[in-house]
Amino acid sequence: MTLDYNSLLLALGLSGACLAATLAMSWAVARTELFLLTWAIGVFLIVVYVVLYAYYVDHPGPLLGAICYVTLLTGLSALYGAARQFRTGRSPLKPALIANGLLIAVAVPPILMGYDGLGFTAENIAAALLVSATAREYWLGRSEAPGPILGLSALYAIIAAGFVLCAGVLVWDGKLVLGQAPQNWAEDLSLGLSIAGMTGIGALSLALNHWRAAGRHRAEARSDVLTGLLNRRAIFDLYSPTPMRQFSAVIAFDLDDFKSVNDSYGHAVGDKVIRAFAEELAAAAGRNDRAARLGGEEFVLVLNRMLPERAEQLAERIRASFAARQIVTEQGAFACTVSAGIAFGTEAGASFESVLRLADKALYSAKRKGRNQVATRHVRLVK
């Protein structure tokens, strides 16, 4: 092997070590993102592989070769698991272990039996499959942050192409036994691609982590802490700039006698009641509808493109479902009720604020009539 090749190995090892440290520190700052830790473990194992392989170059042997490739495939399996964990949020252990076990079972035995040429070919194919699967996981999750994720997917695909080239050259040479580490132009090119890819992956991984953190902060700023629904600011920002659509409805809700709940059971139980109603509201809302907590015991549900009679049926179903729900406390179970008012934006120029005001008027009408009921404000709004 030439000094240039050893220098490439050193560069890859240093690049990987820096990336592993960066990912580990990023995880330490935001421990909710467990995929960063899995990612760091995978990169660290690849750095260990580079160190072992550098030694193997000068001291080839079946056992050391097998150890090298077990380490490489385990590291790549961890990277695949991290990508899957990033996309799905679930534990990557099972799919990563299955992929790792199957590929090691195919790639390592030929090396141990002395057919290192065949083993190197199988190892490169196995590595290409793992890296390609990693690229696919990021591709499937590209909607969250298209720029960084598409970049990551492309870089992993380029690294996979390098492994494919290495396997192709070995197949072309047709040697089952090499007795040393492969020496060809594809190995040099693959190392160069891996170094460039590792550098780019490091930069994009930081960008992706910052993107996700910023998105989480934006979501927190728009969400009600207690219920997880949209907050008052978010619902007004969403609907205030544009007129309501024809047949859109706004349903205003207010929990009945909520002050007496706090006085009798305490604010912790009051919070439990609010969360219970929020669950009813969220469960009833359609995919294009938006539910929000305006503050205190006041809620709103905005229905898009819904006919008046359907809106009234939905409001009544929410009211009845909540009234039948038992709130369990240490002092015993009890039920709460809610009143609702509905208004409709039947003209293209009707603003959200104007329709909400009419829904509030209908709500107070329901309160005056005895609570635990739905009132509708049938008013045609004009520009």
* Token pair 């990033």: residue: 86
Q: Which two tokens stand for residue 291?
A: 């539910």
| DSSP code string of 259-315 | HHHHHHH-HHHHHHHHHHHHHHHHHH--TT-EEEEEETTEEEEEESS--HHHHHHHH
Instruction: Name every residue whose Cβ is closer than 8 Å to that of residue 46 and which is 6 or more positions away in sequence.
Output: 16, 71, 72, 75, 76, 79
Q: Predicted confidence band at 237 (pLDDT cuts at 50, 70, 90)?
A: confident
Residue 162 pLDDT: 92
Kindly calculate the radius of gyration of the chain based on its CA atoms and give it in whole angstroms.
30
Min mean pLDDT across 169-173, 206-210, 263-267, 292-296 is at 206-210
Query: Predicted confidence band at 383 (pLDDT cuts at 50, 70, 90)?
Result: very low
* H or E stretch at 334: strand 332-335
* Residue 245 clears pLDDT 90, i.e. is over it: no
Please write the tens of the pLDDT for every residue from 53-111: 888 888 888 899 889 889 988 988 988 988 888 888 887 788 888 888 888 888 888 88
Does residue 284 have a pLDDT over 70?
yes
pLDDT digits (tens, 9 = 90+) for 353-373: 888 989 999 999 999 999 999
- Give the pair of three-digit tokens for residue 341: 């008012």
The pLDDT score that the predictor gives to residue 50 is 83
Q: How many CB atoms lie within 10 A of CB 106?
A: 16
Query: Sorting pLDDT into bands at 50, 70 and 90, what band is 1?
Result: very low
Helix (H, G, I), strand (E, B) or coil at 340: strand
Closest CA to 359 of 309, 301, 307: 301
Helix (H) or strand (E) holding 376: strand 374-377
Which position has the higher pLDDT, 328 or 222?
Answer: 328
- Least confident span in 24-38, 262-276, 318-332, 342-356: 24-38
Please write down the HEC assignment for all residues of 193-239: HHHHHHHHHHHHHHHHHHHHHHHHHHHHHHECCCCCCECHHHHHHHH
Q: Enumerate the β-bridge partners of residue 298.
A: 254, 295
Question: CB-based burial of residue 83 (10 Å sphere; 0-12 exposed, 13-18 middle, 19+ buried)?
Answer: buried
Q: Of residues 19 and 309, which shows the higher confidence score?
A: 309
Residue 8 banded pLDDT, cuts 50, 70, 90: low
Q: How many CB atoms lie within 10 A of CB 52?
A: 18
Tokens of 233: 């600011």
Q: Tell me which of 254-258, 307-311, 321-325 is least confident.
A: 307-311
Longest dimension (CA), the chain: 92
Q: Cα–Cα distance between 10 and 175 in angstroms, integer?
A: 28
The model's pTM is: 0.64
Q: Specify the range with the lowest mean pLDDT, choosing from 9-23, 129-143, 351-365.
A: 9-23
In the chain, the percentage of residues whose pLDDT exceeds 90 is: 28
Determine the pLDDT at residue 253: 96
- Give the mean pLDDT of 299-326: 90
- 368 by DSSP, 3-state: which? helix
Residue 147 CB contacts under 8 Å (≥ 6 apart), including other chains? 207
**Residue 134 in tokens:** 């990693």
Domains belonging to the chain, first-starting first, are 3-220 (1.20.1070.10), 232-377 (3.30.70.270)
- Three-class SS state of 320: helix
Question: What would the mean pLDDT of 322-328 be, rounded to a whole number?
Answer: 91
Helices (H), 2-115: 3-29, 34-58, 62-88, 93-112
d(CA 93, CA 317): 43
Burial of 260 (0-12, 13-18, 19+ CB in 10 A): exposed
